[in-house]
Amino acid sequence: MQPSRAPGEGGEFGKDGENVERPVGRREHGPRSHPGTGRCQDRQPGRTACPTRAVASAGTSTDTGFSCACCGEHHAETPMNFSSPAPVHWEPGMERAKKCELTSDQCVIRGEAFFVRGLIELPVLGHDEVFSWGVWVSLSERNFLRASEMWENPARESEPAYFGWLSTELFPYEPTTINLKTMVHTRAVGLRPTVELEPTDHPLAVEQRTGITMERVRQLAEAVLHAGA
């Protein structure tokens, strides 16, 4: 399946309690304003223009903020998580289509593609807190059904890891992060799974293995906060 992204839908990373699942029983049926994923729109490093639109994607912070190399301003928080609200394959209007459903933690497209949301955690050197990307991963139908069946079962912690294809474009990385191979590790009920990248030399996989500096966290924050600028 080819990713399909409408122009101008970039930079839709946000935060909504990245660690915490919402029960499947309480699905959201309201229209979603901007499904899709963040995407860099040819942002030039060091450009001075700063978008005036509200930055809604700030997550938790471990310090008082940072001076932004992108817009020159001091941002009050250093976000430690960015999340994408839908898999890259999700298109506007699908919420009304047959056999398509998107919740905060699961997604089905045309009854044939199955996704769960998880966290790619990157250790931050010298800090207890991790930086995390909230991402979508494509599972086999069998594993998706299994995960759904086990959703509220405390025994799910002993589930073997599920293989999954990464289905979120994390635009600060090249080459693309789409379809990187991962293993999805189920955690306790109520916690989103963690997503472990195949140990390749892809920059994202390297960062997961070796950790990142706080300076790198700020760089990532600048890239995401000003995506589409």
Which pair of structure tokens corresponds to residue 32?
């979603």
In whole angstroms, the minimum distance from the beta carbon of 222 to Zn ion comes to 6
Question: According to CB under 5 A, which one of 1, 24, 55, 68 is a site residue for Zn ion?
Answer: 68
Neighbours of 157 (CB within 10 A): 13
In whole angstroms, the minimum distance from the beta carbon of 43 to Zn ion comes to 11
Compare residues 24 and 68 and give the one whose CB is closer to Zn ion: 68
Question: HSE (CB half, 13 Å, CA atoms) of 25?
Answer: 3
In whole angstroms, the minimum distance from the beta carbon of 28 to Zn ion comes to 30
Question: According to CB under 5 A, which one of 1, 71, 183, 214 is a site residue for Zn ion?
Answer: 71
Q: Give residue 119's identity as a one-letter amino acid code.
A: L
3-state SS assignment for residue 196: strand
The rounded distance, in Å, linking the Cα atoms of 161 and 68 is 38
Q: How many residues bind Zn ion (CB under 5 A)?
A: 3
In whole angstroms, the minimum distance from the beta carbon of 72 to Zn ion comes to 7
Q: Is 189 in the site for Zn ion (CB under 5 A)?
A: no
Q: Is 220 in the site for Zn ion (CB under 5 A)?
A: no
In whole angstroms, the minimum distance from the beta carbon of 223 to Zn ion comes to 10
| Span near Zn ion by CB under 5 A; candidates 71-79, 126-134, 142-150, 193-201 | 71-79
In whole angstroms, the minimum distance from the beta carbon of 73 to Zn ion comes to 5
Question: HSE (CB half, 13 Å, CA atoms) of 151?
Answer: 15
Compare residues 61 and 103 and give the one whose CB is closer to Zn ion: 61
Q: Is 183 in the site for Zn ion (CB under 5 A)?
A: no
Residues of 84-116 as b/e, b for ≥16 C-beta within 10 angstroms?
Answer: bbbbbbbbbebbeeeebebbbbbbbbeeebbbb
Q: What is the DSSP string of 210-221?
A: H-B-HHHHHHHH
| Span near Zn ion by CB under 5 A; candidates 38-46, 60-68, 147-155, 179-187 | 60-68
205-208-211-212 Cα dihedral, nearest 10 degrees: 70
Q: Is 70 in the site for Zn ion (CB under 5 A)?
A: yes
Residue 175 neighbours by CB under 8 Å, 6+ apart: 202
Residues at the interface with Zn ion (CB under 5 A): 68, 70-71
